[in-house]
């Protein structure tokens, strides 16, 4: 049975979105969709690259999300149309193969393949996918897609998964089919979100704690509009450097190193590996501090923790592109800014600012103006709120 929709706010915009998807469904498949699912993107407020080091992350599942409108089929065939990519995939549930030359088809095939490996009975379907999460911009459109799809198969199959398991299956699909060795952050954010809240995630024991931001703080995403590509090797390289550091220092993961322990044995590591380790250990420690600062509206702490995170990302972890440096300058010069830093894996894409809610509109206008003048590219700047995790919904 479909759960009652609580999180989609039926604004003029969301109604138009649903109508648009229904039109696409009729044009592509004929007839009407019978079930709807959604899952949010996310922005990390603190904790870059800490997830695969089994450390901490403060994440906000956001009010930009992926929607799927679907109708069951009884013949075991899955047909999916992505409105974002204007592309269609079709496969049989009893023969799900990887595709050599298509990234997105591996994302969508991985989810049912993993669910079946887990012994879950799947139904075929026709489905339309539409995402308001910008793709390949660091807000995790991939996990939003995986978790909305897993929820669709859950509804079609009539069984239910705990959100934690659904997240793990999405991660497995991304590892095995998309070939991206991601941590658990993105899928946990997509599955465990609560309206209006951030989540503090412990990536070792996978426990989460709800964090309420002080009412007068807004989270604003600023898109540099320069795309990044995770399979470009940089992500895997950072991950392997962290693993080397942990192996040399004899710990299971960098999570197990204190700043003091690392400092005392730094000379056993190459300079590059030492800098990577230094960033991760400090970044993970900043997560709890930022959670406290955001709850208690401690503006000095917000500012200094975000600044330290960005400096470390630039000098130690080397994930900051020139477009991100320009955007950082624009965010820090804008009215109402409390703190600003990178988001996602870095290398371009989106960044995040914490802004005094009295100045959100002025902040937005200022960043658009200054970044456009500096780069001749108009950035997207959106205030976002905390959104619920993956779910089915009614129109």
Which residues in this chain contact Mg ion in the complex, by CB under 5 A? Answer: 140, 142
Interface residue with ligand ADP among 114, 127, 230, 327 (CB under 6 A) is 230
Task: Tell me 379's DSSP state.
Answer: P
Phi, psi of 34 (to 5 degrees): -115, -10
Do residues 180 and 142 lie in contact, with contact meaning Cβ atoms separated by under 8 Å? yes
CB of 62 to Mg ion, least distance (A): 14
Interface residue with ligand ADP among 8, 54, 145, 147 (CB under 6 A) is 145
3-state secondary structure of 221: strand
Q: Which residue is nearest to Mg ion (CB)?
A: 142
The β-bridge relationship of strands 198-202 and 124-131 is unpaired
Minimum CB distance to Mg ion smaller for 126 or for 174: 174
Nearest to 93 by CA among 156, 3, 163, 13: 156
d(CA 303, CA 324): 18
Cβ atoms within 10 Å of 263's Cβ, excluding its own: 13
Q: Is 186 a catalytic residue?
A: yes
- Site map 324..353 versus ligand ADP, x via CB under 6 A: --------------------x---------
Nearest to 371 by CA among 241, 363, 175, 64: 363
Interface residue with ligand ADP among 50, 132, 141, 326 (CB under 6 A) is 141
- Site map 67..106 versus ligand ADP, x via CB under 6 A: ---------------x-xx-----------------xx--
Interface residue with ligand ADP among 50, 53, 59, 142 (CB under 6 A) is 142
Do residues 99 and 106 lie in contact, with contact meaning Cβ atoms separated by under 8 Å? yes
Residue 285 binding target from ligand ADP, Mg ion, none, CB below 5 to 8 Å by type: none
Residue 326 binding target from ligand ADP, Mg ion, none, CB below 5 to 8 Å by type: none
The β-bridge relationship of strands 56-73 and 87-92 is unpaired
Nearby residues of 200 by Cβ (< 8 Å), 6 or more positions away: 56, 57, 58, 208, 209, 210, 211, 287, 288, 291
Interface residue with ligand ADP among 91, 107, 169, 363 (CB under 6 A) is 107
Minimum CB distance to Mg ion smaller for 105 or for 218: 105
Which two structure tokens, joined as six digits, stand for 338? 């409390």
Query: What is the crossing angle of helices 185-192 and 163-173, to 10°?
Result: 140
Phi, psi of 290 (to 5 degrees): -70, -40
Residue 190 binding target from Mg ion, ligand ADP, none, CB below 5 to 8 Å by type: none
Which two structure tokens, joined as six digits, stand for 190? 């997509």
Catalytic residue (choose from 44, 65, 126, 186): 186
Minimum CB distance to Mg ion smaller for 146 or for 155: 146
CB of 42 to ligand ADP, least distance (A): 9
Residue 363 binding target from Mg ion, ligand ADP, none, CB below 5 to 8 Å by type: none
Minimum CB distance to ligand ADP smaller for 203 or for 281: 203
Residue 129 binding target from ligand ADP, Mg ion, none, CB below 5 to 8 Å by type: ligand ADP
Which two structure tokens, joined as six digits, stand for 290? 């930022």
CB of 306 to Mg ion, least distance (A): 23
CB of 104 to Mg ion, least distance (A): 12
Nearby residues of 12 by Cβ (< 8 Å), 6 or more positions away: none
Phi, psi of 319 (to 5 degrees): -120, 15
Minimum CB distance to ligand ADP smaller for 177 or for 363: 177
Minimum CB distance to ligand ADP smaller for 125 or for 257: 125
d(CA 350, CA 348): 7
CB of 47 to Mg ion, least distance (A): 15
Minimum CB distance to ligand ADP smaller for 131 or for 342: 131
Do residues 156 and 93 lie in contact, with contact meaning Cβ atoms separated by under 8 Å? no
d(CA 358, CA 376): 28
Task: Tell me 333's DSSP state.
Answer: H
- Site map 110..139 versus ligand ADP, x via CB under 6 A: -------------------x-x---xxxxx
The contact set with ligand ADP (CB under 6 A) reads: 66, 82, 84-85, 103-104, 107, 129, 131, 135-142, 145, 230, 344
Active site residues: 186
């Amino acid at each position: 049975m479909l759960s009652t929709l609580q999180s989609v706010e039926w604004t003029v915009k969301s109604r138009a979105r649903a109508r648009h998807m229904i039109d696409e469904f009729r044009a592509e498949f004929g007839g009407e969709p019978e079930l709807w699912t959604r899952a949010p993107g996310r922005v990390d407020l603190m904790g870059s690259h800490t997830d695969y080091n089994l450390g901490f992350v403060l994440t906000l599942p956001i009010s930009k999300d992926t929607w799927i409108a679907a109708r069951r089929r009884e013949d075991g065939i899955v047909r999916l149309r992505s409105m974002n990519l204007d592309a269609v995939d079709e496969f049989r549930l009893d023969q799900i193969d990887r595709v050599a030359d298509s990234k997105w088809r591996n994302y969508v095939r991985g989810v049912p393949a993993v669910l079946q490996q887990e012994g879950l009975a799947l139904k075929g379907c026709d489905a339309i996918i539409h995402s308001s999460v910008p793709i390949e911009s660091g807000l995790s459109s991939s996990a939003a897609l995986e978790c909305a799809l897993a929820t669709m198969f859950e509804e079609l199959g009539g069984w239910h998964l705990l959100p934690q398991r659904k997240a793990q299956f999405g991660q497995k699909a991304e590892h095995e089919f998309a070939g991206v060795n991601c941590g658990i952050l993105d899928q946990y954010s997509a599955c465990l979100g609560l309206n209006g809240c951030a989540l503090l995630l412990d990536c070792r024991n996978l426990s989460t704690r709800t964090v309420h931001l002080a009412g007068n703080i807004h989270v604003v995403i600023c898109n540099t509009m320069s795309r990044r590509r995770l399979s470009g090797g940089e992500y895997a390289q950072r991950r392997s450097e962290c693993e080397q550091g942990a192996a040399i220092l004899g710990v299971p993961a960098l999570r197990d190193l204190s700043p003091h322990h690392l400092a005392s044995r730094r000379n056993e590591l190459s300079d590059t590996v030492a800098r990577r380790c230094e960033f991760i250990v400090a970044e993970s420690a900043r997560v709890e501090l930022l959670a406290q600062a955001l709850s208690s509206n401690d503006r000095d702490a917000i500012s200094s923790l975000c600044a330290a995170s960005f400096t470390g990302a630039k000098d130690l972890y080397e994930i900051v592109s020139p477009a991100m440096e320009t955007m950082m300058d624009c965010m820090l010069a804008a009215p109402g800014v409390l703190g600003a830093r990178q988001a996602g894996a870095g290398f371009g894409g989106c960044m995040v600012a914490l802004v005094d809610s009295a100045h959100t509109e002025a902040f937005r206008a200022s960043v658009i103006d200054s970044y456009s003048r500096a780069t001749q590219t108009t950035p997207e700047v959106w205030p976002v709120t905390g959104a619920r995790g993956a779910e089915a919904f009614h129109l």
